[in-house]
Every structure is written in structure tokens, then in C-alpha cells.
A and B are shown apart, each in its own frame.
Chain A
Amino acid sequence: MNLDANTYQVYAKGYGKKSPVLRDCACAFLVGGIICCIAEGLYRLYLHLGIPETNVRILTPVSMVTLAALLTGFGWFDKIAKFAGAGTLVPITGFSNAVVSPAIDTKAEGFVLGVGAKMFIIAGPVIVYGTLASVVWGVIYYFLHRGGIV
């Protein structure tokens, strides 16, 4: 075989199916939408129960995180996510799964070096860059505000 690396990479790309992007998008839209509807339902339920709106704004995501954590623990979340893709990943449910799944996985290595150290192995970058992005946006917002734009 005399193909050089570049030629081979182009050649190999021609093999194998591509991800079904349209179907994946439709599934993500459907399941992501259902998750948002559940959250909206909870939001209204909490309001209906007379809980102050400021608390409901906290309580709803907490409920969704708890729900996703429970589903991860029961071993159902990954089965839903296999179908839903970004539909379960993008909402806060994905964040919950990304924390709980390594926690379950690493408990055999102990609570300190296992669960404690590795719980954020997937969600860690989201927290780091999420915080960083909010700081950057804070600075931009400060100047926009000073300039009277917002």
C-alpha cells in the first residue's frame, strides 16, 4: 500500500456512514422540547402552590437536576440520551448527568480520589468556561452600560 497519510485520510473519509444530522436534530428538538415543557409545567405548578416566584425560579432547575440525577442513577438517562442527543445534553439535565455519571462510575476508587476528584471530569470545563464567559460578558456589559447603550 503506497498511499501517503494525506491521501489515505481523504480515502478513509469516503467510507462509513455519516451521522443522520436531520434525524438527530428532529429527535433533539422533540425531546429537548418535552424537557422544557416538563420544566414549564413544574414552574406553573410551584406558582400555583403559592411559592414566591423568586423561589420558583430556583426550585424549577433544582427539580430538573434532581430528576436527571435520579434517571442517571436508575440507568435510564443514557438510553433516553442515545435517542435525544443534544435534546438531553443542552438543557440543565445534561449537566446533571455529566456530574452524576462519573460520580457513580468512580465510587470504587473511594470518596476522595474517586467520587470527589472525578465528579467534575466532564462538567468541570463547563463550569470553568461558563464562569469565565460570564466575567467577560460582565466587563462588556459594564462598558455598554457606561456608554448608555444598554
Chain B
Amino acid sequence: MKNKGLIRIQNPPTILSSAAVVGKKEHDGPLGADFDLHAEDDRFGMDTWEKAESEMQRLAFGLMLKKCRMREDDVDAIFAGDLLNQCTGSSFGLLDFGIPYFGLYGACSTMAESLMLAALTVGNNIFNRAAAVCSSHFCSAERQFRFPIEYGGQRTPTSQWTVTGSGAMLVANDGGGPYVTEVMPGISVQKGITDANNMGAAMAPAAVDTLTRYFSCSGTVPEDFDVILTGDLGAIGHDITMELLYSSGFNIRSVYNDCGLMIYSAKEQDVHAGGSGCGCSGTVICGPVMKRLRQGIYKNVLFIGTGALMSPGSVQQGMPIAGIAHLVRISSELPGTLVSGEERGGSNG
């Protein structure tokens, strides 16, 4: 049978520290108190939205280091990405730190993609400590993908609100957890959705693909997890994912949630189908989820970062939007104590 892509990390690295920086709207949302830092005007003291996004990354990364009393020299590499052209949000934001840098583009799945690569490199003794960073900013994303900020248009009910926020995590080969124990890279899945205002429907098939692969080869069942979290499928993608998985024989309803549905109060904050952007899952994982893992409320988290692989040009040319979903399993206990079915031959050596 074809390798389904599950990677069990032999020496699961610890998530040593994490930090989440958000804008005002996110701070005003239901998870507001769980984020480390917020700005009142979303400008973060900068004169452009793009600089504001970079500043968020700088703040998140700096705060993450401070929380675990590390310095720049203690970090061997950074895996980072954002939604801006050529990933300038990350490259400018992390410029000051002088650390080997890998720029990633995984659209809104970047938190999962960067965390996966950081965990794989640390878990395989390539690095001792590696950071995963991502960000998105409502205004810089609107400018690049949609309309000018002050343009008077109406949003469709299926549209989502790009989160203003940045998440940073430090993965290390020493420490007592929470651990990144398993990862599964996503496969691009495209089911013909061309509507850029319905990302949830475009990304849901990728989430379903990754979760189906994971459950069928990991030996786990949905109930083994305290929470299964997708990145930013929003209301529509959430429902589609749940139903399609159910029809494949996996009932995730009792433990399933989506970061895009958690970060805002859908009715009061007028975000239509929910939150989106790298910062959506980035801040929710680095803030509230990590907090609950440390408090012992969560012991086993399955995080599936979801991304829509498109550009304004590809959408205008009528190209369908492909989705991708990267999976990361975070556990507060070491794999010896993990629930596991039949061991697959160590695909990670």
C-alpha cells in the first residue's frame, strides 16, 4: 500500500515556549485573555500595514524567547511564513535576530507546516532548537488579495475574516513537553472550487484527506484526542469536513473544533463564516491551546493547519483553488504512553 505519509518522530521534541500577538479585534474575541500581547490600533506603531505585520512577528518571536529565557544564539533555525508576496512579513520581521531562516509558503497552513519542519529537524538531531513562526494581518491581506481597506463593498456570507496576529513557537530537544510526537504532511487537493470568498469549501477536502489518511494508518480514533483542531475552515468548511469524515466512518463531532470559529464571536464581531489566515491557527495554537496543554486541560491535541493555495492572478484566470492540510500531533506525554494501534514501519527512521 502507498505510504500514507505519517511520520512518527523517534525523539519527540518539546515545545519549549510559545507566544501569540494579536490585533484589537482578536483581543476582543472569546479567546482574548489567552493571547500574550495585543495592539489597540492594529498598526503596531508602524506607518504601513506590511510593516505592522512584520512588527507582530518580531514581537511574537522576542516574547517567545523571553518566556523561556533564551537568546537569539540559542536558536539554530527559524521556519517562518506569512501570506504576503515573497513572504516579506517574515523576512523583514525576523531580520534583526540573525538566525538561519527558512521562508515558507503554506498559505494559512503555515503554523502547522513550520512546526512540522521544526519538529522534524530537531527530532532528527539536525538542530537543537528551532522556531516556527507565522503571521497574517487583516489589512495587508485585504490589500493583496481583495480590495483597498476603505473600499465600500459587501462581503458574502461565506467569506472569512483574516486574523491580525502572529504566533511563534520554540521546539527543543530538551524539556519535559508538551511534545510533537507525530506529523503528517498534507497533499494538495483540488475539487474545482473557484470562489475566493468560499475558502472553507475549497480547503475542506484537503482536511478530510489528511484526517482520513491519519486515522486509517495511525491506529488512533477521534476519541483518543481532547481536541481535533483545524486551522481556518470556518463555519462551512467545518461542517463539510465533519460530514465527509462521518460518511467515511470517522465521527469527530464530540472533539472537533476549528480555530477560525474559536477566535471570534461570529455574531457579535460580524466575521461571517469565521476567521482565516496564518495568524488564525498560529495565535490559537501558540496562545490558548498551548496554555491548556501546559495546564493539563488538554493532553492530546491533533492540529491540522489548513491552507488555500491560490493567488489573486490564479483566481482571476479562473483556476480552481487547491487546499492543503498539514497535521501535527501534540501530546503532553511521551509516545511510550500514547495510544497506538499497529506500528507502521518507522517512516521517519
Q: Which residues of chain B come closer than 8 Å to A73, judged between CB atoms?
A: 150
Please tell me which stretch of A9-17, A45-53, A132-140 contacts chain B, meaning at least 4 of its Cβ atoms lie within 8 angstroms of it.
A9-17
Chain A 104-130 interface mask (CB, 8 Å, partner B; 1/0): 111010000000000000100000000
Of the candidate stretches B12-20, B80-88, B165-173, B187-195, the one touching chain A is B187-195
Q: Which of B62-70, B154-162, B301-309 contacts A (4 or more CB under 8 A)?
A: B154-162
CB neighbours (8 Å) of A18 from chain B are: 157
Take A9-B191, A16-B201, A16-B236 as given contacts and tell me if A85 and B48 are in contact as well, using a CB distance cutoff of 8 Å: no
Please choose the segment from A32-40, A55-63, A95-103 that sits at the chain B interface, where 4 or more of its residues have CB less than 8 A away: A95-103
Quote the shortest CB–CB distance from A99 to chain B (angstroms).
10
B311 within 8 A of A: no
CA distance A77 to B150 in the complex (A): 7
Assuming the contacts A1-B248, A15-B240, A108-B47, asked whether A8 and B192 have C-beta atoms less than 8 A apart, the reply is yes
Interface residues on A, range: 35 or more
The answer to whether A72 and B154 touch across the interface, beta carbons within 8 angstroms, is no
Give CA–CA (A106, B150) in the complex, Å.
Answer: 11
- B239's nearest neighbour on chain A, judged by CB, is A15
B151, A122: Cβ atoms under 8 Å? yes
In contact, A97 and B192 (Cβ under 8 angstroms) = no
B151, B192, B208, B244: which contacts A101 (Cβ < 8 A)? Answer: B151
Determine the chain A residues whose CB is within 8 A of the CB of B204 once the complex forms: 12
Most buried by A among B156, B191, B192, B235: B191
Instruction: Check A94/B198 contact, CB under 8 A, given A6-B192, A15-B240, A16-B236.
Output: no
A16, B157: Cβ atoms closer than 8 Å: yes
How many whole Å from B207's CB to the nearest CB in chain A?
10
Q: How far is the CA of A9 from the CA of B193 in the complex (A)?
A: 6
Binds A, one of B23-31, B141-149, B292-300: B141-149
Secondary structure type dominating chain B contacts: loop
Residues in A neighbouring B208, C-beta threshold 8 A: 1
Instruction: Indicate if the CB atoms of B198 and A101 lie closer than 8 Å.
Output: no
Name B273's closest neighbour in chain A (CB-CB): A16
Residue of A15, A24, A77 touching B152 (CB-CB under 8 A): A77
Contact flag A102-B148 (CB < 8 Å), given A1-B244, A12-B201: yes
A1-B152 contact, Cβ under 8 Å, with A9-B191, A16-B235, A108-B48: no
Task: Tell me how far the C-beta of B34 lies from the nearest C-beta in chain A, rounded to whole angstroms.
Answer: 28
Q: For the complex, is A67 an interface residue (Cβ under 8 Å from B)?
A: no
Residues on B with C-beta less than 8 A from A88 are: 152
Contacts of A94 in B (CB 8 A): 152
Q: Which residue of B lies closest to A94 (CB)?
A: B152
Which 4 pairs between the two chains have the least Cβ-Cβ distance?
A81-B152, A5-B192, A105-B148, A12-B201
Q: Which residues of B contact A (CB under 8 A)?
A: 47-48, 50, 143, 147-158, 190-193, 198, 200-201, 204-205, 208-209, 212, 235-236, 239-240, 244, 248, 273, 320
Instruction: Name 26 interchain pairs, CB-CB below 8 A, sorted by A.
Output: A5-B191, A5-B192, A8-B191, A8-B192, A12-B193, A12-B198, A12-B236, A16-B157, A16-B158, A16-B201, A16-B235, A17-B158, A19-B156, A19-B157, A72-B152, A75-B150, A82-B154, A94-B152, A97-B152, A98-B151, A101-B147, A101-B149, A101-B151, A101-B152, A104-B149, A122-B151
